[in-house]
Amino acid sequence: MRDYEGRDGIMQFGGMSVTDIAEEFGTPVYVTDEARLRENYRSIYGEFSKYMDTKIHYACKANTNLAILRILEQEGSGIDAVSIGEVMSCLKAGFTPDRIMYTGVNVSNEELKAVSDLGVMINVDSASELERLAKINSDLPISFRITPGVGSGHSDKVITGAKGSKFGIPEKDIIKTYLRAKELGFDIKGIHAHIGSGGLVSEPFTDVMEVLIRTTNELKDNGIDLEFIDMGGGIGVPYRPNELEMDVGELAMSLTDMVLEETDVKTLILEPGRYIICDTTVLLTKCIDVKDAGVKKYVGVDAGFNTLVRPAMYDSYHHVAIGNKFGKACTAKYDVVGPICESGDYLAHDRALPDPEEGDIVVVYNTGAYGFSMSSNYNSRPLCREVLVNGGKAELIRDSELIEEQWRHQRIPERLIG
């Protein structure tokens, strides 16, 4: 897990004291370190591209803040998008359509039309989607998502590649669906699979690559030559203090070796979301209340599962520290809980913390991926701010929502007024 420096007992983030950031922008606030974001992109791109032509399609579902998208656009990234909203956000951030690939599931005809009209390549998820797309436009470059029969992830809820999954073309239908696409006149470019999210071992990635390679070669025997293999995302990051990183350099060497040795495919596409953005960001939240409930002690903070849902939704571990008592000796164990009216509203369970007090700044680590992007208005709480830090300076990249904005699309029928 990435850790930070303390200065006079205050945690430093992107060259700033977390207490200064919290004071200037309020809490809760997501804070992203621009330098780390650029470094993460460069590191994964560098590891793979030294062996073969590689395109990194950042999975923007992890975080679609426009400033973050701009930075990745500048770095040369492509995009994995799953909705018309994501596609349009990326266009707004300066990506050209040819750098975006759309991989949706259960996509409506309206969305298929909107995405293809924008000139974005579609990764087709089912035989039915193919037929529906053909009626819209069959003169398009496309790729297919297959169900590889290999799944991996930090929770069952995020495993997508296992046999029987709702995602992709099942093995028995793959060749005939590609042949059908050829018959319909599509320009077939590639093959895609995504095993799931947050894996920290390399085997599932090499396993899925074997399936992709085998299928690519079967397609070749059937007269279909592919330009790229897209092996999805899913590379995990360590969330716990003693957890080890995956050796991405070694993974890059073995995967590219497999593709170059066993196929004629020249381009490899990867869709990392978490790997690029996760450890660039911390969530700062303020301690509002400290409670000793006898059998348990609580630190009550101003961020709940409306702000960060991963612990409540997946039982995910996020490391927490008290930013203004950084490196101080821990005094007892606490649950860190939020303001949402449900007992499942927690950020952390049983964490040793140094004498928490009202006003302390609690720092939640590794919140760049699926943090803000999964936040909600539950309990009518406004979405929070996002800040970008770079070289000791902080800039607002999303203001907090006004309560009034939660009403902007609601209507009270005339008959209920008065």
Distance of alpha carbon 345 from alpha carbon 386, whole angstroms: 21
Residue partners of 369: CB distance under 8 A and separation at least 6 = 62, 63, 237, 273, 274, 277, 278
Residues of this chain, 77-116, that bind ligand LLP according to CB under 6 A? 80, 103
Among 6, 78, 161, 198, binds ligand LLP (CB under 6 A): 198
Give the whole-angstrom CA distance, residue 201 versus residue 33.
27
Q: How far is CA 276 from the centre of its chain?
A: 8
> Where does this chain touch ligand LLP (CB under 6 A) — which range of 175-183, 227-235, 246-254, 353-361?
227-235
Q: What are phi and psi of 100, to 5 degrees?
A: -115, 140
Sign of dihedral through CA atoms 354, 359, 363, 367?
A: positive
Q: Which stretch binds ligand LLP (CB under 6 A): 112-120, 171-179, 232-240, 323-331?
A: 232-240
Structure tokens at 259: 């593709």
Q: Is 43 helix (H, G, I), strand (E, B) or coil?
A: helix
Q: Which residue has the tokens 């592919």?
A: 226
Q: CA-CA distance, 250 to 47, in Å (whole number)?
A: 9
Q: Which residue number, 57 or 381, has a Cβ lying nearer to ligand LLP? A: 57
Element (H, E) at 265: none
195 binds ligand LLP (CB under 6 A): no
For ligand LLP, which is the closer residue by CB, 21 or 209?
A: 209
> Pick from 36, 189, 194, 325: which binds ligand LLP (CB under 6 A)?
194
User: x/- binding map, residues 57-76, to ligand LLP, per CB under 6 A?
Assistant: --x-xx--------------
Q: Is 341 a catalytic residue?
A: yes
Considering only 14, 272, 311, 339, the residue that binds ligand LLP (CB under 6 A) is: 272
| Total site size for ligand LLP, rule CB under 6 A | 24
Nearer to ligand LLP among residue 6 and residue 233 (C-beta): 233
According to CB under 6 A, which residues from 366 to 405 bind ligand LLP? 369-370, 374
Helix (H, G, I), strand (E, B) or coil at 95: coil
What is the binding site for ligand LLP (CB under 6 A)?
59, 61-62, 80, 103, 158, 160, 194, 197-198, 232-235, 271-275, 310, 314, 369-370, 374
Residues marked active site are found at: 341
